[in-house]
Every structure is written in structure tokens, then in C-alpha cells.
Amino acid sequence: MNNQKRILIWDLPTRIFHWLLALGFSIAALLAFVAGEDSPLFPYHAIIGLILALMVVLRVLWGFIGSRHARFSSFAFGPSAVVEYLGGVLRGRGVHHAGHNPGSAWAIFAMLGLIFGLSITGLLLGQGNKGLKDVHEVLAYAMLAVVVLHVLGVVIHTVRHRENIVASMIHGRKDVDAQAGIAASYRVVGLIFCILSATWAVGLLRNYDAATQTTRLPLVGVSVQIGEVEDMGQSDHQKEHGEYD
């Protein structure tokens, strides 16, 4: 028991990913739900969504090759483990985990999948696939719901275990057994993650053309439609012609 010390649990790439994802999703959701489709800022929700998509791809890669607690295999819990864990939480006996617990693990997989789904449906929507609008919106609401449950889970854990896990997601450390720790914080990987994400973000923003509502994916070079082009001007013009001819 007394061999519990401040031990490094979360590597730097995971921590940077977490807070950028939380910030990015919050802004994208505000632009989509609050500002709405008529706002001139609306296309930026799609650009932020595409930035998050790359970050999720990088996080998934890190999930296979990253440090112990960032690796998916360390938190790939089956349904029975989740039911047992959540049952324990309800009875006030949630088992403590150094890394992700079964409940948060499922929320994490859901959030990674939902961001990816939002990007794919968003891109197809832009290509004129209007039938996907409802799916895109349902995914956005589902993501909001999982985020609320996630934050609720964090609050319950913080109170129940008297452990400041929000601070742990910032400095990476927890008071756990020494054997649970990781050897390094992988700063170079964190730096590479930031450079790739920033290059992608700057490229998307630079290539954005408000007149055509398109942007070009950096590195890939493919142009994508991220919103509707206003064709009001043309139809007004035609109407006018109709009147005066």
C-alpha cells in the first residue's frame, strides 16, 4: 500500500490529444449547434472536424504502438467487465484502475468512432448526399451524450476515489503502484503529433475557399466540398430576367 507514489501514467501525445480533442469538439459543436448553418462561421465546424479526424487517426495508430496505458490492448474490456465495473460504481464500490477503467474505456472507443463517423458523413454530405444529414446530426447528438457521460464519470471517479484525475490528464502522473507506471513521456512523439496536426490544420484553413465552399486536403491534395454554395444570386437573376423579358 505504501509503495504508492506519483507515477507517470499518461504519455505526452495522449495528454495533448485529449485536450486538443476536447477543445476542438467543443468549438465545432458550438459552431454547428449554436451559430448554425446560416452563420458565416459554419464552414469552420467542418474544418475543425477534419482536423480532429486526422488527430483521431494518429491516436488510433498510437493505440497500437504507444505506451502501456495508451495502447488499446490495455483497455479493451469486454461487455461483462463493463457491466461488473458499472455495477460496482452504482453500489459505491468501483474498483480503482491505474489506466482507463472499463466504463471510461467504452466511452473512449465510442468518442473516437463518433468523431470519425462525423467526418465521413460530413464529407459525404458536402458531396451532395443530403440523405445523410440526419445521420450526421444523430452522430453529433450521440457524441454530445457520450461526452456528458464521460465528464460525469470523471466527476464520480474524482469524488469516489478522492483522486484528481483531471490534473493527471495534464501532468500525466497518478498515485499508484510503481509497477503501473510508464518509463517515458514520449516527448518527441508529442512534438511530431503537434507538427502533423498543425500542418494539416494550417493547410485546411489556407486552402479554404469561401466562394466555392471547398478546401483541399493537405498532403493528400484532394479537394472537398464542406458546405453549400449560395445559388441565390443566380436564381434572383433568372427571376429578374423572367420579369423583364
Residues of this chain that interact with ligand HEM (CB under 6 A) are 14, 17-18, 21-22, 25-26, 28-29, 32-33, 36-37, 45-46, 49-50, 52, 59, 70, 100-101, 104, 108, 111, 118-119, 122-123, 125-126, 133, 136-137, 140, 147, 150-151, 154, 165-166, 169, 226-228
**Smallest distance, ligand HEM to C-beta of residue 221, A:** 16
The sign one gets for the Cα dihedral 158, 167, 191, 179 is negative
Measure the CA–CA gap between 203 and 78, rounded to whole angstroms: 40
Rg (CA), the chain: 22
Report the residue number, 40 or 241, with the smaller CB distance to ligand HEM: 40
Report the residue number, 87 or 128, with the smaller CB distance to ligand HEM: 128
Report the residue number, 82 or 242, with the smaller CB distance to ligand HEM: 82
Report the residue number, 117 or 242, with the smaller CB distance to ligand HEM: 117
Q: How many CA atoms lie within 13 A of 10 on its CB side?
A: 22
Report the residue number, 181 or 227, with the smaller CB distance to ligand HEM: 227
Point out the residue whose Cβ comes nearest to ligand HEM: 122
Distances, alpha carbon 132 to alpha carbons 44, 136, 138, in Å: 19, 6, 10
**Smallest distance, ligand HEM to C-beta of residue 91, A:** 20
**Smallest distance, ligand HEM to C-beta of residue 153, A:** 8
**Which ranges in the chain belong to alpha helices (H)?**
12-29, 43-65, 79-90, 102-126, 133-160, 165-171, 187-206, 232-244
**Beta-carbon neighbour count of residue 230 at 10 Å?**
10
Measure the CA–CA gap between 76 and 82, rounded to whole angstroms: 10
**Smallest distance, ligand HEM to C-beta of residue 234, A:** 18
**Smallest distance, ligand HEM to C-beta of residue 233, A:** 19
